[in-house]
C-alpha cells in the first residue's frame, strides 16, 4: 500500500516536471503558428497594395524565425515524448502488472509480421513502435503498434505516381501458445473471396481450397475463414471452447480481428486507428483521465491471456 502511494506520488512529481516542458513546447508551437499567420498576412497586404517584393521579403522574416524556433525545440519534443513513455506510461503499467515494461523504440520486427502469416500482402513500408511485454502467470506475451503499407505505382504524364495503401494499422499481440503444433493455422476475417472459396471447398471438392477448414461453430465459420495444411491440427488448436473465446474477444474489438498460430506462438491483429501512448502537447498532463485510454488497451491485451485460457498447460508445454 505504501509503495503504491509512493509510486503515485512519484508519478505526480514526474507529471509536474513534464508539464513544465509541455507548456514550453506548446508555447513555442503556438508562437510558430502565429508567425506563420503573420507571414501570410504580410504577403496578402503586399499583394493588395501591389507591392509583391515587399510582401515576399516581409513574409520571409517570420517564416525563417518560425522554422528556426521549430527546429530548436525539436530535440526537446523528442526528449519529452520519450520521457512521457518511459516515466509516465512505463510507471502506470506497473499498476496493471509488475512484469509489464514498455520499450518505445522497439516493436514487432517486420520479418515476424510477415512470418506471422496474418496478412497475405507483404509490406513495402513498415513502421512499428511502443513494444510492451510482460508475463501473465506462465505465459509470456508482448504487443506493439504496427503500421504496414504496400504501394502501387501508376504512370502519369508527369512521371510515376506512388500511392500507399494500408495493409494493417493497429496492435499486434503475440503470446506463447499452450500447445505444440507443426503447421500454421490462420484465422482471417471472412471476405467475399473467402466465402466463395469455402463454398467451393464445401460443395465442389475438386475445385475447392484444400487448406480451408470448415469448423462446426456456425457463428465462428460465418465470421472467419480458417486455413491450415493439417485439418486435425487446426481443430486441435481451435477447440469448441477456444472458438467461443475467440468470438468473445472479437466482439470486444470494433473491427474483425485476425489470428494465426505459428512457430508455437499465437498472433492476434487488432485493427485500430488511434495512436496510443503518445504524450499530449496541446492539452494538460495534469488531468485525471490522462492515461485512461492507454491503460484500457494495455489491460485489454493483458486479459487476453486469461480470456483465451493460455495458462492451462497440460499439453506438455510447461
Partner 1 sequence: MLVIIGLFVFLFIIGIVIYNSLIGKRNQVTNAFSAIDVMLKKRYDLIPNLVEVVKQYTNYEQSTLTKIVELRARATSGNLTDEEKASLDTELSSAVIGLMVTVENYPDLKANTNFLNLQTTWTESEEQIAAARRTYNSAVTDYNNAIMMFPGNMFAGMLGYTKIDVLATPEEERKNISAKELFNN
Binding site for partner 1 (CB under 8 A): 179, 202-207, 214-216, 231-236, 239-242, 309, 312, 314-316
Nearer to partner 1, 154 or 203 (CB): 203
**Cβ atoms 102, 130 nearer than 8 A:** yes
Rounded to the nearest whole angstrom, what is the least distance from the CB of residue 76 to partner 1 in the complex?
52
Nearer to partner 1, 5 or 204 (CB): 204
Nearer to partner 1, 35 or 136 (CB): 136
Q: Which helix (H) or strand (E) covers residue 75, if one does?
A: helix 52-83
The cell for 37 is: 499567420
Alpha-carbon distance of 160 to 283, in angstroms, equals 41
**Cβ atoms 263, 180 nearer than 8 A:** no
Alpha-carbon distance of 198 to 216, in angstroms, equals 13
- Dmax (CA) for the chain in angstroms is 84
Short-list 81, 13, 20, 311, CA closest to 175: 311
Angle between helices 52-83 and 2-48 (to 10 degrees): 170
Alpha-carbon distance of 30 to 274, in angstroms, equals 24
Short-list 214, 130, 212, 114, CA closest to 168: 114
Q: How many residues comprise the chain?
A: 318
Neighbour-count burial of 172, counting CB atoms closer than 10 A to its CB (0-12 exposed, 13-18 middle, 19+ buried): buried
The cell for 72 is: 530548436
Q: State the first-to-last Cα distance of the chain, in angstroms, to the nearest integer.
A: 33
Nearer to partner 1, 20 or 241 (CB): 241
Nearer to partner 1, 164 or 315 (CB): 315
Other CB atoms within 10 Å distance of the CB of residue 94: 15
Nearer to partner 1, 151 or 202 (CB): 202
Nearer to partner 1, 1 or 204 (CB): 204
Nearer to partner 1, 129 or 226 (CB): 226
Rounded to the nearest whole angstrom, what is the least distance from the CB of residue 180 to partner 1 in the complex?
9
Amino acid at each position: 500500500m505504501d509503495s503504491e502511494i509512493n509510486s503515485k506520488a512519484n508519478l505526480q512529481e514526474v507529471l509536474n516536471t513534464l508539464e513544465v516542458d509541455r507548456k514550453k513546447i506548446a508555447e513555442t508551437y503556438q508562437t510558430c503558428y502565429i508567425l506563420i499567420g503573420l507571414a501570410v498576412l504580410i504577403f496578402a497586404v503586399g499583394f493588395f497594395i501591389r507591392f509583391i517584393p515587399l510582401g515576399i521579403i516581409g513574409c520571409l522574416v517570420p517564416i525563417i524565425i518560425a522554422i528556426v524556433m521549430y527546429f530548436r525545440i525539436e530535440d526537446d519534443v523528442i526528449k519529452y515524448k520519450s520521457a512521457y513513455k518511459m516515466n509516465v506510461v512505463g510507471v502506470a503499467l506497473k499498476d496493471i502488472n509488475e512484469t509489464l515494461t514498455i520499450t518505445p523504440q522497439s516493436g514487432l520486427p517486420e520479418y515476424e509480421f510477415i512470418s506471422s502469416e496474418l496478412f497475405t500482402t507483404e509490406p513495402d513500408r513498415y513502421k512499428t513502435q511502443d513494444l510492451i511485454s510482460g508475463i501473465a502467470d506462465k505465459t509470456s506475451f508482448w504487443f506493439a503498434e504496427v503500421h504496414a503499407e504496400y504501394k502501387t505505382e501508376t504512370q502519369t504524364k508527369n512521371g510515376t505516381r506512388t500511392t500507399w495503401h494500408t495493409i494493417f494499422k493497429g496492435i499486434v499481440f503475440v503470446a506463447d501458445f499452450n500447445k505444440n503444433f507443426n503447421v500454421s493455422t490462420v484465422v482471417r476475417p471472412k471476405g467475399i473471396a473467402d466465402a466463395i472459396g469455402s463454398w467451393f471447398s464445401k460443395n465442389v471438392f475438386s475445385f475447392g481450397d484444400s487448406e480451408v477448414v470448415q469448423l462446426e461453430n456456425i457463428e465462428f465459420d460465418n465470421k472467419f475463414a480458417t486455413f491450415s495444411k493439417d485439418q486435425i491440427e487446426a481443430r486441435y488448436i481451435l477447440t469448441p471452447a477456444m472458438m467461443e473465446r475467440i468470438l468473445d474477444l472479437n466482439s470486444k474489438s470494433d473491427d474483425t480481428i485476425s489470428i494465426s498460430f505459428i512457430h508455437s506462438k499465437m498472433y492476434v491483429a487488432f485493427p485500430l486507428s488511434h495512436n496510443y501512448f503518445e504524450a499530449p502537447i496541446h492539452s494538460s498532463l495534469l488531468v485525471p483521465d490522462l492515461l485512461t485510454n492507454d491503460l484500457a488497451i494495455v489491460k485489454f491485451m493483458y486479459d487476453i491471456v486469461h480470456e483465451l485460457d493460455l495458462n492451462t498447460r497440460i499439453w506438455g508445454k510447461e
